[in-house]
């Protein structure tokens, strides 16, 4: 992902959501496919990505998934397996708050780092035949589907 200034990051969000955005600390731009971070209070997640040749910002409500027992969950974006606490439910509401969509994502929104092996979960991952470029392509395609689904749903 290209390096973005604070102004560019804020401009990616809808004007009414900008007041919720708390800017991230300096991310590792060279290994990001999108910019994802968590509000310091933990209740919101933010994603900035390129979609249809423009930057899109998403504000997502976040709640950590807690279940009894040894369960594993897969991130809907990067397909990384996580144990309890490593995955969170992220919800995006439409503008009039009448409809919501929820997805399970890496709790820290650092899918690019998991795909590249720069972060690990402590969970045994499934064996894949995809190389790194295939995994990155899958991640960006899943992210594009998320943004498109929010625009049209």
- Find the helix or strand (DSSP H, E) in which 100 lies: strand 100-106
In this prediction, residues 76-87 reach a mean pLDDT of 90
Q: Taking the complete model, does pTM exceed 0.75, yes or no?
A: yes
Q: Is the Cβ–Cβ distance between 62 and 38 less than 8 Å?
A: yes
Residue 92: pLDDT band with limits 50, 70, 90: confident
Helices in 1-153 by DSSP H: which ranges?
A: 6-11, 111-115, 132-152
Would you state the pLDDT for residue 137? 96
Share of the chain above pLDDT 90, in %: 61
Handedness of CA 135, 111, 78, 74 (dihedral sign): positive
Q: What is the pLDDT of residues 115-145, one digit of tens each?
A: 999 998 888 888 889 999 999 999 999 999 8
Answer whether 51's CB lies under 8 Å from 68's CB.
Answer: no
Is 153's pLDDT higher than 60? no
């Amino acid at each position: 992902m290209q390096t973005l200034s604070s102004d560019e990051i804020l401009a990616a969000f809808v004007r009414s959501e900008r007041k919720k955005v708390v800017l991230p600390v300096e991310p590792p731009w060279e290994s990001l496919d999108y910019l994802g971070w968590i509000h310091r209070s933990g209740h919101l997640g933010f994603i900035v990505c390129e979609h249809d040749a423009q930057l899109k910002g998403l504000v997502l409500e976040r709640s950590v998934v807690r279940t009894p027992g040894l369960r594993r969950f897969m991130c809907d974006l990067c397909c990384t397996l996580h144990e309890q606490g490593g995955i969170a439910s992220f919800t995006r509401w439409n503008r009039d708050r009448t409809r919501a969509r929820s997805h399970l994502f890496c709790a820290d929104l650092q899918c690019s780092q998991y795909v590249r092996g720069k972060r690990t979960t402590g969970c045994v991952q499934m064996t894949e035949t995809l190389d790194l470029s295939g995994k990155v392509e899958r991640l960006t395609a899943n992210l594009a589907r998320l943004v498109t689904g929010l625009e049209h749903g």
